[in-house]
Amino acid sequence: MIVYSKFNLSRKPLFQIDTRINKNGNKLTSRKKAHTDESVEFLNSLYSKYKELMSNNFGFVPIKPQKISNTEIAFEYLEEPTLEYLLFSSLTNNQIEKYVELIKEYASRVKKGSIVNSNVNSDFKKLFGNLGTNSKADCTKIGCIDINFDNVMVSKNKKFKLIDYEWTFINTPIPYKYIIFRALISFYHGFSSYNLNHYYPLKKLFKDLKITLTEQKHFIYYEYNFQAYVQNNSFTNSTQLQDYYKFLDQILIQGSSKEHVQKTSKDIIEQDHRIEKLSTEIEKIKSSTTYKIWQKYCQLRNKLLKLE
């Protein structure tokens, strides 16, 4: 018997997966099923994603997928509290110290996996756009952006278990701060009617976690591009996502609406291109004969000055 179901029909057919909770007697199981023929491959990619996360010192314990058929996968149903619940209850009960400790514990686990300091690759740019990608960043070697608080269950022995990891990119390093930013935004937006900023401002959390204003702008841009990729550029028709971007505009940066993000993104990309062009020109100058002669002249002049 199905006791819960969730469909994501706004996605591209390639990514449409149905999530259900089935009850058989007293036993509950969570199941994912390919909604279309095109999404079968995406569903079955969960097996390789699970193996990669398990073998790369990942800071969360992914729930093992169990094959039912080529189009359906089952997962153990956990009745432990979500990290979202623990954060919300501690915050609204004014247990601020506990709240901050949980956030910091979460952030440390995101960073626990293999971290590489590098430029993002071409696959990242296809998913998230070009903004800010010309400079190096600390990235998770395997990019899993599903680590939102409602996807994390916390056991009594403090194990942090991940119940969903479909948006894992095995060969795509992702800035770890973006993963944290994404979880925080989802949490504060999901409980916006409770005005969580009254208890602990989101901007203060960004400061605590050293997520700069420039990084926030970049991450908003990443999120916009990723949603466009998943939703086949039709997400502007979604009232839920429109509300999400309105929230970003109100809470984070004045004017960070779709139009403002696009303008800011364009300005920063152009600036990155100018810097890249100037760097190329400087390298050309350094390799020129005139520059080399000038270097020798400066060295000789310095020697003569020392003799005086």
Using pLDDT thresholds of 50, 70 and 90, give the confidence band for residue 173. confident
Instruction: Read off the pLDDT of residues 67-121 as tens digits, 9 standing for 90 and up.
Output: 999 999 999 998 899 999 999 999 999 999 999 999 999 999 998 866 777 777 8
Phi, psi of 72 (to 5 degrees): -145, 140
Q: How far is Cα 201 from Cα 183, in angstroms, rounded to an integer? A: 15
Instruction: Read off the pLDDT of residues 245-270 as tens digits, 9 standing for 90 and up.
Output: 677 666 555 434 445 545 554 554 55
Residue with tokens 């909604």: 35
Q: 241: Cβ–Cβ under 8 A, 6 or more apart, which residues?
A: 227, 231, 235
Q: 287: Cβ–Cβ under 8 A, 6 or more apart, which residues?
A: none
Q: 217: Cβ–Cβ under 8 A, 6 or more apart, which residues?
A: 131, 253, 256, 261, 264, 265, 268
Angle among Cα 225, 33, 12 to the nearest 5 degrees reads 25
Higher pLDDT, 246 or 129: 129
Identify whether the C-beta of residue 222 lies closer than 8 Å to the C-beta of residue 178: yes
Report the DSSP beta bridge partners of residue 188.
Answer: none
Chain centroid to CA 109: how far?
14
DSSP 238: -
Query: Which tokens in the block code for residue 144?
Result: 């899993």
Amino acid letter, 253: I
Q: 6: Cβ–Cβ under 8 A, 6 or more apart, which residues?
A: 18, 19, 20
Using pLDDT thresholds of 50, 70 and 90, give the confidence band for residue 233. low
Higher pLDDT, 192 or 293: 192
Mean pLDDT is lowest, of 162-176, 203-217, 260-274, for 260-274
Identify whether the C-beta of residue 4 lies closer than 8 Å to the C-beta of residue 21: yes
Q: Element (H or E) spanning 4, and its range?
A: strand 2-6
| Strand, helix or coil for residue 30 | strand
pLDDT at 275: 46
Average model confidence (pLDDT) across the chain: 82
Mean pLDDT is lowest, of 42-51, 52-61, 122-131, 229-238, for 229-238
Query: HEC string of 90-138?
Result: HHHCCCHHHHHHHHHHHHHHHHHCCEEEECCCHHHHHHHCCCCCCCCEE
Query: Which tokens in the block code for residue 80?
Result: 């432990």
Q: How far is Cα 73 from Cα 69, in angstroms, rounded to an integer? A: 7
Higher pLDDT, 134 or 304: 134
Q: How many residues does the chain have?
A: 308
Identify whether the C-beta of residue 188 lies closer than 8 Å to the C-beta of residue 88: no
